């Protein structure tokens, strides 16, 4: 993937809007509307886990790869999700 592509820029811009979306994560994770078919149970579990992950002070206790269901992160989003130069390597 081209590092200068419009898609990469769009994902970075969305990641910068996290503070806007964060207050709604607990509502999303608790929503009864998200009851999923058996094929969507993994996604539903991931969404329900978002509020706990969002409460973490990642500067004090960074998230580790084992705490994120990697199969829910599409390849195009991996860099936006996992790359944070302000955190220790591997966090």
- How does pLDDT run across 44-83, given as a tens digit for each residue? 888 888 888 888 887 788 888 788 888 988 888 887 777 7
Does this model's pTM top 0.75? My answer is no
Q: Is 44 left (phi over 0), alpha (psi -120 to 50) or beta?
A: alpha
Query: What tokens does 53 get?
Result: 């992950």
DSSP state of 70: G
Number of domains in the chain: 1
Mean pLDDT computed over every residue of the chain: 80
Residue 75 included in any domain: yes
Residue 87 included in any domain: no
Q: By residue range, what is the domain housing residue 26?
A: 6-82
Residue 41 included in any domain: yes
Q: Using CA atoms, how far apart are residues 48 and 46, in angstroms rounded to an integer?
A: 5
Residue 54 included in any domain: yes
Query: How many angstroms separate the Cα of 53 from the Cα of each of 4, 42, 43, 79?
Result: 30, 16, 15, 18
pLDDT at 32: 75
Residue 89 included in any domain: no
Cβ contact 44:35 at 8 Å: yes
């Amino acid at each position: 993937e081209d590092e200068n592509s419009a898609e990469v820029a769009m994902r970075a811009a969305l990641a910068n809007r996290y503070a806007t979306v964060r207050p709604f994560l607990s509502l999303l994770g608790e929503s009864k509307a998200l009851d999923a078919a058996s094929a969507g149970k993994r996604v539903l579990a991931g969404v329900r886990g978002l509020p706990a992950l969002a409460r973490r002070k990642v500067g004090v206790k960074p998230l580790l790869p084992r705490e994120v269901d990697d199969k829910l992160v599409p390849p195009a989003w991996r860099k936006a999700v996992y790359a944070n130069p302000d955190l220790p390597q591997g966090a």
